[in-house]
């Protein structure tokens, strides 16, 4: 390719990626929007095209300002029925507006938790709203309650618990595939980028003694440790929910809680220090774990601390626990208290048994709002299960580790590492099929901050197809005929044998959002690669023909 042709292709790529007349779109940093949310990208693109100065100057300020102040208000419980939905809506506008190449599981999980909280009674207790209502009642001469509601609908808790369980369930099940079981891509991470981290160097050098296969052993430990922890955490938390910690009576719960605390601390600490880009995930999951604890655990901790202060006589405390106490009376106590009134009631109403029973049955019927809540929760749960499994029941022909477009929203965390050996587009004449221009994509490393994420990730199908379509559109607009565009992309996925990523098809005829039909068939592991899986696991897979959906 001549220098002029090379500069022409560079300009085409820059024009495609940096829409908005060279303005840096904050929140629109990708030419690959989510297929289901392309309408949102198109709305924002329309305003950036037609009102670039206004959008560049005011849109980020309005969006981030709304996020900041609505998050603060909902966190404090101020005007919660208004601030929480606004926070959830603005968060998803920010998240989906960034496009696929900025997808992070933790961002997605955070958005789901924010959305669920906006649908619950989270702002009705220990909030600014509750305090203001209490002060207003006091001014009106009514009984004042400054802490708000004393009870919470049970479905609020189980709704949040379900979301946490879904995340860890699919984080476990998606790891049961051949690449992860043979220690990839962690072996690659350890021997390259993560090898410089102090904790990795200490583990490889001190614990494993610089063994020739130290990186392999370490990667196997991390891979299977991830499967074990993600699969073990939710059953443990559910056990602690059913049998809460009572230090003097339930020693099993105390022991399990201790194991849970130690393993969780090791997992999240090592995860944070090895990857160093995990963000707020460790802190966020620790807070979410408390949803499975006894419902009044903050009150119990306050009571325990005050009791210890009194016990050691640091300073005198006289506290009334009636305000903080949320314990319900025991079953036997409540039965004995209500036994006598029930006997008197049955003596008086022996003759008319049918009417009260009928009224009681009518009281148990669900209201319209309760039915709406049930339908909403069922629909939400169905979506949360269907989306991560769409590669099994859907029309996609390839697994998520081969077609990266399917991996989003499936809780596949750090499971794919690709390296591109060759990446080029062949621009052919539409009649003679003669190659007119070859575009070496590996040579294009965008310095623009908008496009740095693309860099050399041409094994991602949508990137290559988007470039092919845009070049074909440009040639058709200038020459009057649409060329044929073929891709020659050789890449290695999870350190497998390098292979072609695309079939010999015209990418200019394939829509950007449908990349599955352009992908070549996945080449299975070689026997040498299969033998990297520990023998007991490999024996079980081959003996029982276990499916590895991945």
Does a structural domain hold residue 474?
yes
Strands (E), 448-545: 484-493, 499-500
Task: Tell whether the model's pLDDT for residue 500 goes beyond 80.
Answer: yes
- Hey, how many other C-beta atoms are within 10 angstroms of the C-beta on 187? 22
């990137």: which residue's tokens? 463
Cα–chain-centroid distance for residue 221? 24
Residue 111 has a CB neighbour count (10 Å cut-off) of 16
pLDDT in tens, 140-189: 989 888 888 888 888 998 999 999 999 999 999 989 989 999 998 889 88
User: For 200-240, where are the E strands, in sequence order?
Assistant: none
**308 vs 328, more confident:** 308
Domain that holds residue 425: 408-519
Across 480-505, b (16+ Cβ under 10 Å) vs e yields: eeebbbbbbbbbbbbbbeeebbbeeb
DSSP-assigned states of every residue in 105-141: HHHHHHHHHHHHHHTTTTTSBSSHHHHHHHHHHHHTT
Asked if the structure places residue 525 within a domain, the reply is no
For 505, phi and psi rounded to 5 degrees? Answer: -125, 155
The pLDDT, as a whole number, for residue 331 is 44
What is the separation, in whole angstroms, between the first and last Cα of the chain? 41
Which of 102-116, 280-294, 411-425 holds the top average pLDDT? 102-116
Quote the CA–CA distance of 19 and 25 in Å, as a whole number.
8
What is this structure's pTM? 0.81
**490 in a structural domain:** yes
Which of the residue ranges 19-23, 293-297, 331-335, 373-377 has the most confident prediction, judged by mean pLDDT? 373-377
Count other C-beta atoms under 10 Å from residue 376's C-beta. 12
Using pLDDT thresholds of 50, 70 and 90, give the confidence band for residue 505.
confident
Q: Give the range with max mean pLDDT: 340-349, 388-397, 472-481.
A: 472-481
pLDDT of residue 343: 45
Q: In the predicted model, is pLDDT for residue 138 greater than 60?
A: yes
Q: Is the omega angle on the peptide bond into residue 185 within 30 degrees of 0, that is, cis? A: yes
Domain count, the chain: 1
pLDDT computed for residue 134 by the predictor: 92
Q: What is the pLDDT of residue 1?
A: 47
pLDDT band for position 313 (50/70/90)? low
Q: Give me the pLDDT at residue 71, please.
A: 94
Of 44-53, 103-112, 314-323, the least confident: 314-323
Specify the DSSP element, H or E, that contains 421: strand 418-428
Q: How far apart are CA 403 and CA 520, in angstroms?
A: 10
Say if 151 falls within a structural domain.
no
Cα within 13 Å of Cα(184), Cβ side: 20
Residue 427 is given by DSSP the state E
Rounded to whole angstroms, the Cα distance separating 268 from 66 reads 31
pLDDT band of 416, cuts 50, 70, 90: confident
Mean pLDDT over 46-72 rounds to 85
Is residue 355 in some structural domain?
Answer: no
Q: Please provide the size of the chain in residues.
A: 550
Q: Which of 161, 160, 127, 164 is nearest to 146 (CA)?
A: 127
- Compute the mean pLDDT over every residue in the chain, rounded to the nearest whole number: 78
pLDDT category at 530 given cuts 50, 70, 90 is very high
Q: Is residue 546 part of a domain?
A: no
Top-confidence residue, 28 or 482: 482
Q: Which helix (H) or strand (E) holds 438?
A: strand 435-440
pLDDT tens digits along 184-212:
888 988 888 777 777 777 777 777 776 77
Order of strands across the sheet with 499-500?
Answer: 435-440, 418-428, 484-493, 499-500
Residue 440 bridge partners (DSSP):
424
Give a yes or no: residue 466 inside a domain.
yes
Distance CA(5)–CA(11), nearest Å, equals 10
272: which 2 tokens?
């944070």
Percentage of residues of the chain with pLDDT beyond 90: 21
pLDDT at 358: 53
28, 277, 431 from 71: Cα distances, Å: 22, 23, 58
> Which range, of 92-96, 262-266, 294-298, 505-509, averages the lowest pLDDT?
294-298
Q: Give the residue with greater pLDDT, 115 vs 513.
A: 115
Alpha carbon distances (Å) from 23 to 61, 150, 414, 448:
15, 52, 32, 11
User: Is residue 543 in some structural domain?
Assistant: no
User: Does residue 424 register a pLDDT over 90?
Assistant: no
Which residues 6+ apart lie within 8 Å of 374 measured at CB? 366
């Amino acid at each position: 390719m001549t220098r002029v042709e090379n500069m022409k292709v560079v300009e085409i790529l820059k024009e495609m990626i940096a829409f908005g007349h060279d303005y840096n779109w904050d929140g629109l940093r990708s030419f690959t929007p989510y297929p289901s949310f392309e309408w949102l990208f198109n709305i924002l693109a329309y305003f950036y095209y037609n009102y670039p100065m206004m959008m560049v100057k005011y849109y980020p300020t309005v969006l981030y300002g709304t996020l900041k102040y609505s998050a603060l208000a909902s966190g404090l419980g101020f005007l919660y029925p208004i601030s929480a939905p606004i926070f959830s809506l603005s968060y998803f506008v920010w998240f989906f507006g960034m496009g696929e190449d900025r997808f992070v599981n933790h961002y997605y999980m955070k958005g789901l938790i924010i959305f669920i909280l906006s649908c619950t009674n989270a702002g009705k207790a220990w909030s600014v709203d509750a305090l203001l209502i209490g002060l207003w009642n006091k001014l009106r001469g009514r009984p004042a309650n400054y802490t708000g509601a004393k009870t919470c609908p049970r479905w609020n808790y189980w709704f949040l618990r379900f979301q946490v369980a879904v995340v860890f369930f699919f984080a476990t099940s998606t790891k049961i595939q051949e690449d992860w079981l043979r220690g990839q891509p962690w072996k690659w991470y350890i021997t390259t980028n993560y090898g410089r981290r102090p904790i990795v160097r200490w583990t490889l050098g001190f614990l494993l003694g610089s063994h020739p296969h130290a990186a392999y052993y370490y990667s196997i430990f991390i891979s299977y440790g991830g499967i074990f922890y993600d699969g073990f955490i939710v059953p443990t938390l559910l056990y602690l929910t059913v049998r809460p910690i009572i230090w003097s009576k339930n020693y099993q719960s105390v022991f399990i809680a201790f194991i849970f605390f130690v393993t969780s601390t090791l997992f999240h600490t090592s995860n944070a220090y090895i990857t160093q880009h995990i963000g707020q995930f460790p802190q966020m999951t620790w807070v979410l774990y408390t949803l499975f604890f006894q419902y009044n655990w903050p009150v119990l901790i306050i009571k325990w601390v005050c009791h210890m202060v009194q016990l050691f006589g640091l300073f005198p405390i006289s506290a009334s626990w009636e305000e903080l106490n949320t314990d319900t009376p025991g079953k036997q106590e409540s039965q004995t208290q209500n036994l006598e009134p029930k006997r008197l009631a049955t003596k008086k109403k022996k003759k008319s048994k049918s009417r009260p029973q009928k009224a009681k049955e009518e009281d148990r019927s669900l209201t319209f709002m309760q039915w709406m809540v049930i339908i909403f929760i069922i629909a939400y749960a169905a979506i949360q299960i269907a989306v991560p499994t769409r590669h099994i029941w859907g029309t996609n022909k390839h697994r998520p580790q081969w077609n990266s477009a399917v991996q989003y929203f499936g809780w596949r965390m750090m499971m794919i590492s690709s390296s591109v050996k060759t990446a080029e587009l062949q621009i052919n004449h539409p009649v003679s099929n003669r190659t007119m221009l070859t575009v070496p994509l590996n040579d294009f490393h965008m310095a623009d901050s908008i496009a740095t994420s693309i860099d050399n990730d041409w094994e991602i199908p949508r990137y290559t197809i988007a470039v092919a379509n845009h070049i074909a559109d440009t040639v058709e607009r200038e020459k009057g005929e649409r060329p044929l565009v073929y891709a020659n992309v050789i890449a290695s996925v999870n350190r497998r044998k390098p292979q072609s990523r695309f079939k010999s098809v015209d990418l200019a005829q394939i829509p950007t959002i449908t990349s599955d039909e352009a992908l070549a068939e996945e080449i299975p592991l070689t026997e040498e690669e299969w033998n990297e899986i520990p023998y007991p696991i490999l024996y079980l897979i081959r003996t029982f023909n276990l499916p590895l959906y991945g």
